[in-house]
Structure 1
Amino acid sequence: MTRKTVRIAMNGVTGRMGYRQHLVRSLLALREEGGLDLGDGTVLWPEIVLVGRREHALQAMAAKHGLEHWSTDLDAVLADPDLDVYFDAQVTSAREEALRKAIAAGKHIYTEKPTATGLAGALELARLADAAGIKHGVVQDKLFLPGLLKLKRLIDGGFFGKILSVRGEFGYWVFEGDWQDAQRPSWNYRAEDGGGIVVDMFPHWEYVLHELFGRVTSVQALTATHIPQRWDEQHKPYDATADDAAYGIFELEGGAIAQINSSWTVRVNRDELVEFQVDGTEGSAVAGLRNCRTQHRSTTPKPVWNPDLPATHAFREQWQEVPDNGEFDNGFKVQWELFLRHVALDEPYHWDLLAGARGVQLAELGLQSSAEGRRLDVPEISL
């Protein structure tokens, strides 16, 4: 086996998601496995350079995980001719400028979403990356969740017949920060810092709907800031200026209708933090993060509405669990592997900056729809 090094700058991995999913459970996990086997006698070894603003945090993280390289100087890191890939998991407001610098330096790009604060900027990043001849990818992790992989298996197998509708429920109660610490950073609730659940979640819903059911052709959304005051990491009160809940209706190419509720102000009464129910002419399914249950038309009960009598059907018991039929690795890690194979072997990869721009577009239109109180078409975008 020949070992080939790929040098990756990871910016923003002192944050919760960047650290847990991208550093520890993806690239460090690959290193623990001995690297990524490319199948041609070569093993790709991720050499990591930690980048961020807080020197002490970077130094401590590097020491904890036995990493040699870290820096608070992004420009110097990008100037390194041996650097191959730039990864960005910073706050949204800082991402676009950093990606522009990395593209100008000729580095391959892999980034969290949203890729920019507006559609114009997101499209410009895609154009710049294509013009520079670099490879670029955007994290679209929900596609690699076991529950959605099982759902895709059902779609590919024709289980649903004609798909009629999709209903999604996402969210949980994020504590305000006064009497219990919040589970999310305070910037998420300040619009001036790029926060808001639409900006955070509509890019996810775009690629889930696009990849599984069809392109989103229209959006009608209503947003709310249900909790107007929260407490930050120093336990100081602040005004929540960003939306903490969004209620969206999406028309899809092919005629299906999707309804998705997203909320950080909802208490969970479902099996998983996100669930999608898909109803079709031949059958239905409910998919979450890991599990998926089905009900075929041949086993669908015939309930009759009668409010004067107790329910006679145990509805949840009438659904069948979809088996795993395989091993499911961490979804972030799986997508990292695909992107690194794209970089090393030029294998096909379509979750690029243009796909990321579609997510930014849907978030932008969702906010506009709510502000104007009307349904908006979602035009196709291209470079």
Structure 2
Amino acid sequence: MHGVTGRMGTNQHLIRSILAIRADGGVVLASGDRVVPDPILIGRNADKLKRLAEAHGVERWSTDLAAALADPEDTVFFDAGTTQMRPQVLAQAIAAGKHVYCEKPTATTLDEALEVARLAEAAGVKNGVVMDKLFLPGLIKLAMLRKAGFFGRMLSVKGDFGYWVFEGDLQPAQRPSWNYRKEDGGGIILDMLCHWRYVLDHLFGTVTSVSCLGATHIPERIDEAGKPYKATADDAAYATFELDGDVIATINSSWATRVYRDDLVVFQVDGTLGSAVAGLTTCKVQPHVAAPRPVWNPDERQTHDFRADWQEIPDTQTYPNGFRNQWEQFIRHVVDDGPWTFSLREGAKGLQLVDAGLDSWRDRRWVDVPALPA
């Protein structure tokens, strides 16, 4: 496990996935056997690695990536390090014959992402990318509604994501400073369009074109050492997507907005037979036959409670941690050849949309998103 000393790597991948799987006795295979992962933490900062390992009872850690990759007993390499470093360390792991699993984005450009995907395919190693939002309860419920035909003909998807990331003066920033420096791999288009690609493709329809406008709303921030720095990366993106089936999607992403909605990300899906609104965990619906009959009258105060017209989809199953859920699928894929969708090539589609979004912003035009090159 490389680069897991950061917030996401520590909490979601180490503690809530791998260590939770170990605590529960491993991943159950089709035969009934169990696979118990044995992590070794790899990184550049020995002090951080040692503290993390000791805090959570992990026996193995090292700053020597090459030596770790040379050990034939460790068959899977996972990366949650920096985006800029990812293609290099993935290529190194693939060359060592390891199955590879990683966070997204898988690179900073489509060419890099495709190259590492081709390396994995040529080497014949199992490979995967974290696509955690598909495992959120709210989006699982949206997928169920679509499968049931609830929407009828789907018309549009409206997404609103983000929150206020403090500049670092009055309050400490809750995201690292490199996120706001383009030269260090920062930018919300690179970060979030990778997510929106797999969400749109898998839930609503394949993305065929994009129009995207980026912005750097906060030009200066304060870094972890208390020093001001220039924000060179976009901190907001306003994107419209055309999907297969004549579905139109619009998603606003911002680290410079304050939340006035039910969750940090909310999707509204409208169709001819019904609509749904989903956050991270909840999903509410309004079928066509139960839609109210609003009348526009700006001369009177609105008294109708439109939120009361929606019905919540109940939790009819247990929803495990999404990161853990996908980890278990990948482990079954590696050991048991279980079904798997989220390959490095699927991850490269996210970079394809990022490149298209950046081109659209630069040229102020619509950009087509064709089938991914072989």
Whether TM exceeds 0.5 here: the answer is yes
CA offset at residue 350 of structure 1?
Answer: 1.3
Q: Map 1:35-54 onto structure 2 (within 5 A).
A: 35-54=26-45
The code of the aligned residue for 1:242 comes to A
Residue 349 in 1 paired to residue 340 in 2?
yes
The question of 1:312 aligning with 2:306 is answered no
User: 1:11–1:52: 8 Å Cα contact kept in structure 2?
Assistant: yes
Other structure's SS at 2:298 match: coil
Aligned partners of 1:265 and 1:130: how far apart in 2? 40
Q: Distance in 2 between matches of 1:221 and 1:293?
A: 28
1:16-55 to 2 correspondence within 5 Å? 16-55=7-46
Code of the residue aligned with 2:48 in structure 1: it is A
User: Does 1:138 pair with 2:126?
Assistant: no
Equivalence map 1:235-254=2 (5 Å): 235-254=226-245
Shift of residue 42 of structure 1? Answer: 1.3
Pick from 306, 313, 318 the counterpart of residue 322 of structure 1.
Answer: 313
Deviations 1:278-323 (A, max 9, x none): 0000000000000000001111001011100111310111100011
Contact 1:219/1:248 (<8 A) preserved: yes
**Unaligned 5+ residue runs, structure 2?**
none
Structure 1 residue aligned with 2:100: 109
Residue 338 of structure 1: which of 320, 329, 338 is its match? Answer: 329
Unmatched runs of 5 consecutive residues or more in structure 1: 1-9
Which residue among 64, 74, 83 is the counterpart of 1:83?
74
- Number of the residue aligned with 2:175: 184
Once the two structures are overlaid, the 10-residue window that deviates more, 34-43 or 64-73, is: 34-43
The corresponding residue for 1:368 is 359
Matched residue, 2:155: 164
- Aligned counterparts of 2:358 and 2:240: Cα–Cα separation in 1: 13
SS of 2:104's partner is coil
Specify the SS of the correspondent of 2:36.
strand
Identity of aligned residues (%): 60
Aligned to 1:3: none
The number of equivalent residue pairs is 374
Over residues 186-239 of structure 1, what are the superposed CA-to-partner deviations in whole Å (9 max), with x where a residue is unaligned?
Answer: 000000000000111000000000000111000000000000000011111000
Partner of 1:288: 279
RMSD, matched Cα? 0.7
* Amino acid in the other structure paired with 1:46: P
State the match for 2:188 in structure 1.
Answer: 197
Q: Which stretch has the larger CA shift, 67-76 or 338-347?
A: 67-76
Partner amino acid for 2:335?
A
> Structure 1 length normalisation: TM-score?
0.97
Q: Is the 8 Å Cα contact of residues 44 and 63 (structure 2) preserved in structure 1?
A: yes
2:204 aligns with: 213
Shift of 1:255: 0.7
**Among residues 150, 161, 173, which one is paired with 2:141 in the alignment?**
150
Partner of 1:64: 55
C-alpha distance in 1, partners of 2:301/2:6? 49
* CA deviation string 1:42-89 (max 9, x = no partner): 110110000011000001111111111111111111111111100000
Letter of the 1:216 partner, please give it. V
1 CA distance for matches of 2:117 and 2:300? Answer: 59
